[in-house]
Amino acid sequence: MIRRSDLVLFLLQAYLFLTVLFYLGTGSPPLQGLLDELLLLAMLVVAVAFPLRSRSSSSSHAALVATTLTMTVIIGFLGAATNSDLIGFPAIRGAIKGLIIDAKFPLFMLASFFLLDASDTSFLRRLCKAIVLFGILHGALSLLDIVRGVDIHGRQLANRSGLIIANGIFDHKFKSAFANVLFFAAALHLQNKWTAAFAFFLCMIALSVKEMAAAALILTMSASTIRSALFRASTIAVIFLGITIFALTDNPLKSAMMDRVTTFVVTEATANTTVRTELYKSAPKVAVKYFPLGSGAGSFGSSPSRDTYYSPLYQEFHINHLHGGGTGEDGAFLIDTFWPKILGEYGFLGLITFCIPLLLAARTTNAPAFSKYMFWGLLVISVGTPVYNYSDGAIFGGIATGLILASRRKSTHRSDTALAERMYV
Cα 77 from Cα 75, distance rounded (Å)? 5
Please report the pLDDT score of residue 59 as a whole number.
55
Q: What is the pLDDT of residues 137-170, one digit of tens each?
A: 999 999 998 988 888 888 888 777 677 888 889 9
Residue 207 has pLDDT above 60, yes or no: yes
**Once rounded to an integer, what is the mean pLDDT over residues 79-107?**
82
Cα 211 from Cα 10, distance rounded (Å)? 28
Residue 229 has pLDDT above 80, yes or no: no
Residue 185 has pLDDT above 60, yes or no: yes
Q: Positive or negative CA dihedral for 18, 22, 23, 24? A: positive
With bands split at pLDDT 50, 70 and 90, how would you rate the model's confidence at 364?
confident
Peptide bond into 292 cis (omega under 30): yes
**Once rounded to an integer, what is the mean pLDDT over residues 269-287?**
78
Please report the pLDDT score of residue 246 as a whole number.
56
With bands split at pLDDT 50, 70 and 90, how would you rate the model's confidence at 413?
very low
What are the backbone dihedrals phi and psi of residue 170, each rounded to the nearest 5 degrees, phi first? -90, -175
Q: What is the pLDDT of residues 113-135, one digit of tens each?
A: 778 776 778 889 999 999 999 99
Count Cα neighbours of 162 within 13 Å in the Cβ-side half-sphere: 5
Please report the pLDDT score of residue 110 as a whole number.
83
With bands split at pLDDT 50, 70 and 90, how would you rate the model's confidence at 396?
very high
> Facing residues of 150 across strands?
156
Residue 371 has pLDDT above 60, yes or no: yes
With bands split at pLDDT 50, 70 and 90, how would you rate the model's confidence at 51?
low
Instruction: Indicate the DSSP class of residue 153.
Output: T
Amino acid letter at 110? L
> Facing residues of 159 across strands?
164
Mean pLDDT, the chain, whole residue set: 80
Q: Are strands 163-164 and 159-160 parallel, antiparallel or unpaired?
A: antiparallel
Q: Say which range, 3-17, 125-139, 217-231, 380-394, has the weakest mean pLDDT.
A: 217-231
In order, the DSSP letters of 185-216 are HHHHHTT-HHHHHHHHHHHHHTT-HHHHHHHH
